[in-house]
Amino acid sequence: MDPDKLKPRGTSTALVIFFFLYLFYLPPPPPAADQLVLVAHPHLHHRRRKRCADHLRWAASLASHHNATLLLTVDHNQAAGCANFTTIQNAVDAVPDYALTRTLIAVDTGIYREKVVVWPNKTAITLHGRGNLNTTVAWNATSNSTGGSTIYSATFTVLAHGFVAYNITFQNTAPPPEPGDAGGQAVALRVAADEAAFHWCGVYSAQDTLLDETGRHLFRGCYVEGSIDFIFGNGRSLYVGCTISSVAMATAAGEEVTGSVTAQGRASAAEKTGFAFVRCSTYLGDVVAAEGWNDWGDLGRRQQLWFAEYACWGPGSGTADRVAYARQLDSRQAAPFMDVSYIDGTQWTLPPLLPLPPTAVRI
């Protein structure tokens, strides 16, 4: 039989038409590398818009809460594009000089690896993070690495009047120095200005964590961690409901290394400076030496300042072996140090001064 007679009618025509359509619909060749256009998935845009909207709502609510006239926002995630700045220092630098009204800097979640200075002309700043476990300013510097200067090792320095911080952590990530190691001082927070307040903040380092240098200061519900002399300076400061955590390095059996939790730098009995730790009763663990206090062998210090305790409890609170110059206060003697009047705080501390839960301060 003729093979041509077995071929269905119209097959050749169909093949030609199919080939023509294939050529017509063939996708164009890919563009050259320099012509590529990247298109993000629409869901990514949606998530970014939602994140930015949440960030701005949060920041705006804080601005109203703090009665701020200027709002600046910070987010280290540059790709998100939600904030005015990606670093805290740039936001601080943008604050008007010697402002009489408050500027709020709202800092989103993240670790901000930078060294920040609030210069004297950057007044009336409130710095507000997303929580002291979520927003951290961190830097690694020591006295040795900054030319032998302890103050310049600070991660965060406040030199301007009226600074307030909420819900943020300041950390110096330098490793703990070995006992007797000179130059290992690593300040996390330095406060050298008047009328500064810190609410629910964290301050972490090892030696010389918090330089409470000069001025009247309030630390409320904060966590301060260190090993040697880790709250020091000559400020006039009230610590209310704070946790003071000693993380001194363990020593070999039979070896003893001592260090101070606080080292107040008051130089004259005429000064009104001092550190008051309140709310209270205060738990003293067995990390506290039986003698309690040390004047570093300088008898003159006993005329310049005095060392006192009130209603402390715990294994380290026994007074039988305290140094002779330590004082045990009664309620009347302790009263002047127990509230914000000690730092003239009724004149300058800003709301919200929310009540803290009635728990003991652990030192």
Least reliable range by pLDDT among 79-88, 160-169, 241-250, 278-287: 278-287
Q: Which range in 12-16, 142-146, 196-200 is most confidently predicted, on average pLDDT?
A: 196-200
Tell whether 288 is covered by a domain: no
Tell whether 78 is covered by a domain: yes
CA distance 34 to 37: 9
Tell whether 274 is covered by a domain: yes
Tell whether 342 is covered by a domain: yes
Q: Which range in 31-40, 41-50, 261-270, 323-332 is most confidently predicted, on average pLDDT?
A: 323-332
Tell whether 26 is covered by a domain: no
Residue 34 scores a pLDDT above 50: no
Tell whether 317 is covered by a domain: no
Q: Do the Cβ atoms of 212 and 250 come closer than 8 Å?
A: no
Which two three-digit tokens encode residue 211? 């330089």
> How crowded is residue 211: how many other Cβ atoms within 10 Å of its Cβ?
26
Please give the residue range of the domain that contains residue 155.
Answer: 41-250+258-280+338-362
The mean pLDDT of the chain is: 77
What is the pLDDT at residue 334? 80
Q: Which residue has the higher pLDDT, 192 or 183?
A: 192
- pLDDT tens track for 115-152: 999 999 999 999 999 999 999 999 999 998 888 888 99
Q: What residues act catalytically?
A: 229
- pLDDT tens track for 199-218: 999 999 988 899 999 999 99
CATH number, position 50 = 2.160.20.10
**Helix, strand, or coil here: 27?**
coil
Spatial neighbors of 347 by CB under 8 A, at least 6 apart, are none
DSSP string, 235-257: -EEEEES-EEEE-PPP--TT---
CA distance 91 to 111: 16
Residue 352 scores a pLDDT above 60: no
Q: Give CA separation, 268 vs 177, 236, 275, 302, in Å.
A: 31, 13, 15, 10
Query: Would you place residue 284 in the very low, low, confident or very high pLDDT band (cuts 50, 70, 90)?
Result: low
Which two three-digit tokens encode residue 285? 């663990």
CA proximity to 14, closest of 22, 3, 26: 22
Tell whether 205 is covered by a domain: yes
Instruction: Establish how many alpha carbons lie within 13 A of residue 295's alpha carbon, considering only the half-sphere containing its beta carbon.
Output: 18
- pLDDT tens track for 229-275: 788 888 888 888 888 887 766 555 555 555 666 655 565 666 677 77
77 torsion bin: left (phi>0), alpha (psi -120 to 50), beta (else): beta
Average pLDDT (181-205) is 92
Which two three-digit tokens encode residue 198? 């810190």
What is the pLDDT at residue 219? 92
Which two three-digit tokens encode residue 240? 């209310």
Average pLDDT (67-71) is 94
Q: What is the DSSP letter of 85?
A: B
**Helix, strand, or coil here: 72?**
strand
Query: Would you place residue 105 in the very low, low, confident or very high pLDDT band (cuts 50, 70, 90)?
Result: very high
CA distance 139 to 211: 16
> Percentage of the chain with pLDDT > 70?
68
Query: Would you place residue 103 in the very low, low, confident or very high pLDDT band (cuts 50, 70, 90)?
Result: very high
DSSP-assigned beta bridge partners for residue 283: 313, 362
Average pLDDT (22-27) is 43
Tell whether 198 is covered by a domain: yes
Average pLDDT (270-289) is 65
Q: Do the Cβ atoms of 218 and 241 come closer than 8 Å?
A: no
Q: Which range in 38-52, 88-102, 137-151, 226-240 is most confidently predicted, on average pLDDT?
A: 88-102
Average pLDDT (290-316) is 69
CA distance 277 to 289: 18
314 Cα distance to chain centroid: 29
Number of structural domains in the chain: 1
